[in-house]
C-alpha cells in the first residue's frame, strides 16, 4: 500500500495512520437477501466487487435477474399483507430503533468496509456516513407511531411494496435514507444497491436479519442496471424511490408513466458555491475544499462551481491553491487522507475526459504537486480558472474533485449565472450579511442552500432538488410524505 506523505514546509510529513481492518469480516461470496434469508440467485451468476484503491477483489456478489426480483417483490407483498400492515405502529418503531442501535454497535466495521469498497476516506465514512445512517433510523423510528400528529386532519396510509434503487457514492447512508422512512410509514421494501458498492448494504441485510425484523419486510437484491429496471417494472411495486443519475432518472420516469406507481427521483447536481467580498475568506476556503474535494467530489450536492466576487478573487484563489497543496490523496483507510479513491475505473475515465475537455475549452487548469498512488483509481484535486458559463465543464456534472472558478461583480449577475444550468440541487453562500443570505435563498433555484458552511446534513432536514435534479424530498417530515397516501 502506498504511503501517504505530505510536505508541511521544511521536512515535515505525516506518518501513515492506517485504520485496522483485521476486525472486518467480508465473506468470499454474498447471496441475495430475500424473505429474511440469504438465497442463491436463480441463474447462479455472481460478479466481483473490488477495492478501488488497491484493485483487489474483495468478494463476489450475486446478480439478481427478473425471476429473483419477482421472488423478492412477492416476499415483500406477502410480508406487507400478512404482518407489517397489521402490526401496531409502536411495534414497528421498536424494530427500526433496534436497527439504528445495531448500526451504532457495528459502526467501526461498517466504516472500514465502506472505505474499502467505495474508496472514500475513513474520516468521512467513520464521522459522516455511518453515524448519519444510524441517525436516520433513530429519527424515523420516532415517527412510526406519530404519523397522525405529523399530518393533522389527515389519515396517513402506507402504500405497499416500495422499490428502492441507490447509487455508489453514499452506499450505506442512501440505504438508510430509503429504508428508514419506508418502514416507519408501514411499507415493505425491495432495495438494490449500486453494483460497485454492495457490501455495506449486505452488511445491513445481516443486521436486519439479526434484528428479528419479520421476514420479507426488507429484501436486498444486488445486481446491475437490469436488476434495477426489473424492480421499477414489476407490477406489484407500488412506489419507486430512486437516487442516481439524471439519465437513469428519465428512463425510470418513462417506465412508470401510465401506471399508478408513485415515484421520487433524487438526481444529479452542479452546485454553485458563492463567495462575496465581505465573507470570512479563510472559513470560505475551508468550506470550498470540504464542498468539492473531500469525498473525491462524489457528492451530488458538491460545490463544483465556485463564484467569487472580483474584489477578493485574487486573495481567495491564492489561499485556495495553498490549501490544496496540503491535501493528501491516497489510501482511504489512512486517517490522514483527505481525498480517497475514485469509485471505479469508468468514473475515473469520465473525470479524465472532463480534465482534457476543460483545457481544450480554454480554462486554465491547476493541480497541486501532491503524489498519487500508482495502483488504484486516483485523481488530484483540480481547479479550472477562467471558466465561463458556456463551458461544458461548468454545465455538466463531473462527479469528481474538479472545481470550476468564475468571478462576478453584482448579486444579480451571480444569481443569473448560478441558476443558468439544468440542475438545481444545492448551493452555498459565504457572506457577513444576513440580507444577502436571504436574498439568495429566495432567488437561487436550489433545494438546499448552505450559508457560511457546506455539506451539512441532518435527518430532520429535508433534502432534494429542482429541475433536472429531480423531485420529492428525503429527510425530515417531508421525507415521510412520498411513502404515504394522505386522505
Ligand atoms: P446511476 O448510474 O444512475 O445508478 C444509480 C442506480 O441505478 C444504481 O444502482 C444503478 O445500477 C441503477 N440503474 C442503472 N440503470 C438502471 C435502469 N435502467 N433502471 C433502474 N436502475 C438502474 O448513478 P450512479 O452513477 O450510480 O451515481 C451517480 C449519480 O447519482 C450522480 O449523477 C449523482 O449526482 C447522483 N446522486 C444524486 C443524489 C441525490 O440525492 N440527488 C445522491 C447521490 C447521487 P448499477 O450500479 O448497476 O449501474
Ligand atoms: Mg451506473
What is the set of domains in the chain, with CATH numbers?
29-267+469-486 (3.40.605.10), 272-458 (3.40.309.10)
**pLDDT of res. 7:** 52
Ligand 1 pocket mutation pick from 231, 248, 305, 457 by most atoms within 8 angstroms of CB: 248
Q: Which pLDDT band, with edges at 50, 70 and 90, does 6 fall under? A: low
Nearest CA to ligand 1 atom 40: 266
479 lines ligand 1 (CB under 6 A): no
**pLDDT of res. 212:** 98
Question: What is the average per-residue pLDDT within 423-442?
Answer: 97
Question: What is the average per-residue pLDDT within 107-135?
Answer: 98
CA distance 228 to 157: 26
CA distance 291 to 106: 28
pLDDT in tens, 73-114: 999 999 999 999 999 999 999 999 999 999 999 999 999 999
- The answer to whether 280 and 430 are in contact (CB under 8 A) is yes
pLDDT in tens, 317-367: 999 999 999 999 999 999 999 999 999 999 999 999 999 999 999 999 999
pLDDT in tens, 362-416: 999 999 999 999 999 999 999 999 999 999 999 999 999 999 999 999 999 999 9
pLDDT of 4 strictly over 90: no
**pLDDT of res. 13:** 79
Apex CA 114: angle with CA 108 and CA 118, to 5°? 160
pLDDT of 187 strictly over 80: yes
- The answer to whether 375 and 394 are in contact (CB under 8 A) is no
Torsion (CA) 38, 42, 45, 48 in degrees, nearest 10: -30
**pLDDT of res. 2:** 46
399 lines ligand 1 (CB under 6 A): yes
**pLDDT of res. 367:** 98
Which run of H or of E encompasses 256? helix 246-256
CA of 17 from ligand 2 middle (Å) equals 32
pLDDT averaged over every residue in the chain: 96
**Grid cell at residue 240:** 419507486
**pLDDT of res. 14:** 84
Question: What is the average per-residue pLDDT within 294-313?
Answer: 96
Active site residues: 266, 300
CA of 246 from ligand 1 middle (Å) equals 8
CA of 183 from ligand 2 middle (Å) equals 26
DSSP-derived secondary structure for 374-423 = SSS-----EEEET--TT-HHHHS---SSEEEEEEESSHHHHHHHHHSSSE
Q: Which residue from 77, 46, 42 is spatially nearest to 61, judged by alpha carbons?
A: 46
Question: What is the average per-residue pLDDT within 233-252?
Answer: 97
Amino acid at each position: 500500500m502506498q504511503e501517504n506523505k505530505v510536505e508541511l514546509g521544511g521536512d515535515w510529513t505525516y506518518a501513515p495512520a492506517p485504520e485496522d481492518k483485521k476486525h472486518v469480516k467480508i465473506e468470499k461470496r454474498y447471496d441475495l437477501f430475500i424473505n429474511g434469508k440469504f438465497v442463491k440467485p436463480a441463474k447462479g451468476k455472481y460478479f466481483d466487487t473490488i477495492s478501488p484503491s488497491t484493485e483487489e477483489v474483495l468478494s463476489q456478489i450475486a446478480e439478481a435477474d427478473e425471476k429473483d426480483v419477482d421472488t423478492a417483490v412477492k416476499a415483500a407483498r406477502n410480508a406487507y399483507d400478512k404482518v407489517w400492515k397489521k402490526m401496531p405502529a409502536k411495534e414497528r418503531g421498536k424494530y427500526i430503533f433496534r436497527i439504528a442501535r445495531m448500526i451504532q454497535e457495528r459502526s467501526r466495521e461498517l466504516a472500514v468496509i465502506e472505505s474499502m469498497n467505495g474508496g472514500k476516506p475513513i474520516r468521512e465514512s467513520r464521522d459522516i456516513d455511518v453515524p448519519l445512517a444510524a441517525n436516520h433510523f433513530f429519527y424515523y423510528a420516532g415517527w412510526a407511531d406519530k404519523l397522525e400528529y405529523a399530518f393533522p386532519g389527515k389519515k396517513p396510509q402506507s402504500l405497499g411494496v416500495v422499490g428502492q434503487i441507490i447509487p455508489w457514492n453514499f452506499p450505506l447512508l442512501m440505504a438508510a435514507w430509503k429504508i428508514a422512512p419506508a418502514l416507519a410509514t408501514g411499507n415493505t421494501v425491495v432495495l438494490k444497491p449500486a453494483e460497485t458498492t454492495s457490501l455495506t448494504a449486505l452488511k445491513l441485510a445481516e443486521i436486519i436479519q439479526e434484528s428479528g425484523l419479520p421476514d420479507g419486510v426488507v429484501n436486498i437484491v444486488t445486481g446491475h442496471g437490469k436488476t434495477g429496471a426489473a424492480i421499477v417494472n414489476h407490477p406489484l411495486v407500488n412506489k419507486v424511490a430512486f437516487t442516481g443519475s439524471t439519465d437513469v432518472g428519465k428512463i425510470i420516469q418513462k417506465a412508470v408513466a401510465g401506471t399508478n406507481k408513485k415515484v421520487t427521483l433524487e438526481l444529479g447536481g452542479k452546485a454553485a458555491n458563492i463567495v462575496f467580498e465581505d465573507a470570512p475568506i479563510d472559513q470560505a476556503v475551508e468550506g470550498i475544499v470540504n464542498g468539492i474535494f473531500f469525498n473525491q467530489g462524489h457528492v451530488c450536492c458538491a460545490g463544483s462551481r465556485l463564484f467569487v466576487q472580483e474584489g477578493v478573487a485574487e486573495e481567495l484563489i491564492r489561499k485556495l491553491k495553498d490549501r490544496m497543496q496540503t491535501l493528501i490523496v491516497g489510501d482511504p483507510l489512512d486517517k490522514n487522507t483527505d481525498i480517497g479513491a475514485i469509485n471505479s475505473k469508468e468514473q475515473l475515465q469520465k473525470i479524465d475526459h472532463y480534465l482534457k475537455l476543460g483545457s481544450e475549452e480554454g480554462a486554465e487548469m491547476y493541480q497541486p504537486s501532491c503524489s498519487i498512488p500508482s495502483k488504484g483509481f486516483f485523481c488530484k484535486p483540480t481547479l479550472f480558472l477562467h471558466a465561463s458559463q458556456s463551458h461544458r465543464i461548468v454545465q455538466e456534472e463531473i462527479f469528481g474533485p474538479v472545481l470550476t472558478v468564475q468571478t462576478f461583480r453584482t448579486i444579480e449577475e451571480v444569481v443569473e449565472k448560478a441558476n443558468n444550468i439544468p440542475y438545481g440541487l444545492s448551493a452555498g453562500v459565504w457572506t457577513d450579511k444576513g440580507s444577502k443570505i436571504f436574498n439568495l435563498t429566495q432567488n437561487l433555484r436550489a433545494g438546499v442552500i448552505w450559508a457560511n458552511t457546506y455539506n451539512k446534513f441532518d435527518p430532520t432536514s429535508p433534502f432534494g432538488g429542482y429541475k433536472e435534479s429531480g423531485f420529492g424530498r428525503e429527510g425530515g417530515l417531508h421525507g415521510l410524505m412520498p411513502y404515504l397516501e394522505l386522505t
